[in-house]
Amino acid sequence: MKLTEINIILIGIVSLLGVGFYGLLITRNLIKVVMVLQILVKAVVLAFVFSGKVSGNLGLGQSIAATVIVADTIVAVVGLALAVQVRRRFGTLDAPEISTLRG
Amino acid sequence: MERVEYGLLLAGAIICAYRAIVSKRILSSTIYLACISALISVVLFMLGATQVAVMELSVGAGLVTVLLVYALSVVGEDALDPSSVISKPLAIAVVAVVTLLLGWMIYPATQFENLMGSVDLASVLWQQRVLDVWIQIVLIFSGVMGVLGLLSERTPGKAEGGHS
């Protein structure tokens, strides 16, 4: 397989997704989970723009990527708000510890 | 020449992503996340998606970083990431399988010869994807509610006491 621009970008997208998946598996802190989701969405935004570019419809790729960026930002805001409220209520940000709490 | 630039930018983004994940201090992870956003926005700009690149830079490296730092300042110094529940070799094995599967699925995309395409975001966004714009407006409204939740100082106990 020749290392063309397309192949390099595809390898970059898949690698970034892989690192994001790994982070999602090993992360326990709620704020860090939000950050890992950001990493995953950045790879997806790149994939949307790239697919729009290679299919000859960059405008459509950009449009969907813009929507994804907005949705991702809202997810980050709401997730951080939830994390802060969980920290105030339970005194911890550790996800397994929160799931075992009662009362 | 662009191959080298794409390679360096994406390698930098991947290294920053890994450092953001393995870093014990979440403030450091936030800085690495901003670096990823900056590098990705340069790649987007090189691909011709200038509007999305500006959006990614301002939102990803600016707004989200500020929100994360603010959330860290609210939760205090104990925002350290504890060790993972599942073992790291198992996580690496699962990720390797998923990544290989993903690579196999997108392999046909490598058959494209050249990068091509035209920039016509305005007509696509305002004529073909109007529903997306409305969804974005609704999402931004939800985000404002989320920021209010983030800034809220009221505890559940006080709220119940206020009603009685």
Alpha-carbon gap: A99 to the closest alpha carbon of chain B (Å): 13
pLDDT at A61: 87
Lowest mean pLDDT across A93-102, B46-55, B78-87? B78-87
What is the greatest pairwise CA distance in chain B? Answer: 70
The DSSP code for A44 is H
Is B10's CB within 8 Å of A12's CB?
Answer: yes
Distance between CA B80 and CA B93 in Å, rounded? 25
pLDDT of res. B42 = 94
The rounded distance, in Å, linking the Cα atoms of B111 and B95 is 25
A67: CATH:
1.10.287.3510
Please provide the average confidence, as pLDDT, over all residues in chain A: 87
Asked if the Cβ–Cβ distance from A52 to B120 is below 8 Å, we say: no
* Region of residue A90 (phi > 0: left; psi between -120 and 50: alpha; otherwise: beta): alpha
State whether A29 and B121 contact (CB < 8 Å): no
User: Across-strand partners of B25?
Assistant: B80
Q: Write out pLDDT tens, residues A21-56.
A: 999 998 888 899 999 999 999 999 999 999 888 888
Contact A27 B84 (CB under 8 A): yes
Residue of B83 and A4 predicted with greater confidence: A4
Residue A39 is which amino acid? I
Residue span of the structural domain in which A36 resides: 5-100
Domain count, chain A: 1
Predicted-complex ipTM score: 0.90
Given a cut of 70, is residue A4 above it in pLDDT? yes
Say what the pLDDT of residue B79 is: 58
Tokens of B8: 């360096």
Contacts of range B121-124, beta carbons closer than 8 Å, 24 or more positions apart: B121/A58, B121/A59, B121/A62, B121/A63, B121/A66, B121/B51, B122/A59, B123/A59, B124/A57, B124/A59, B124/A60, B124/A62, B124/A63
Q: Which of residues 7-46 of B touch A (CB under 8 A)?
A: 7, 10-11, 13-14, 17-18, 20-21, 26, 29-30, 33, 36-37, 40, 43-44
- pLDDT number for residue B122: 74
Instruction: Check pLDDT > 50 for residue A82.
Output: yes
User: Hey, is A95 helix, strand or coil?
Assistant: helix
Confidence of residue B13 (pLDDT cuts 50, 70, 90): very high
B105-141 pLDDT tens trace: 887 777 776 666 565 777 777 777 778 788 888 888 8
